[in-house]
Amino acid sequence: MKFPTRIFTAIITGATFATTLMGCSDINSSWEVKGGGYFKYTVNGEGPYTIDLDKNDVEPPYYVNNQHHYFYFQTQLSASSRKDQFALLVNNPSTGKDLTPVARASINGRMQNVTWMKAEGSSQSPIIPDSSSIHFDEIIGDSLWTADLNLYFKDCRSGSCKDAQPPLHVKGRLRYWVPEDER
């Protein structure tokens, strides 16, 4: 029996092409294109834990028609398997310096905590600013923000924040890509 070589070659070529296209189907769905990133961290040396950042979880300075000079991110509670949530604000971010996060700011005429942590679903634990720092080592203003975080928060997991309890020490790495269509 003679095997039809042309038909067989066409089928194999088509199958190879389809497989290649399927392998590339997610090529434009990455953080670098759609925006977003991650915050990978430890709490008191335990972990690491990772929270994925949605493109709307971060506000870099001078981003898409805003004129503010701060870097702000707030994670979503639902994005953490540990039920942790973070909010962090840094004024005038720049590379190569240890920067102190802003603890409180006036929002709608009221002083409020703007950098805080909810540890394991607890109430907001305010930052201890004089012990905490964020160090941006890579800022490509219109596309990428990368930083190391060394943060201390009051421990409010018991329902109240007691100064007698040791603070929660959070060390981590933040990486965020601005969505390609918003650069």
| pLDDT the model gives residue 35 | 73
Dist. CA 183–CA 167, nearest whole Å = 38
CB within 8 A of 17, min separation 6: which ones?
A: none
CB within 8 A of 10, min separation 6: which ones?
A: none
Dist. CA 33–CA 30, nearest whole Å = 5
pLDDT digits (tens, 9 = 90+) for 74-108: 999 999 999 999 999 999 999 999 999 999 999 88
Picking from 164, 151, 156, the residue whose alpha carbon sits closest to that of residue 120 is: 156
**Could you tell me the pTM of the whole model?**
0.79
Dist. CA 130–CA 151, nearest whole Å = 10
pLDDT digits (tens, 9 = 90+) for 33-48: 567 899 999 999 999 9
| pLDDT the model gives residue 69 | 86
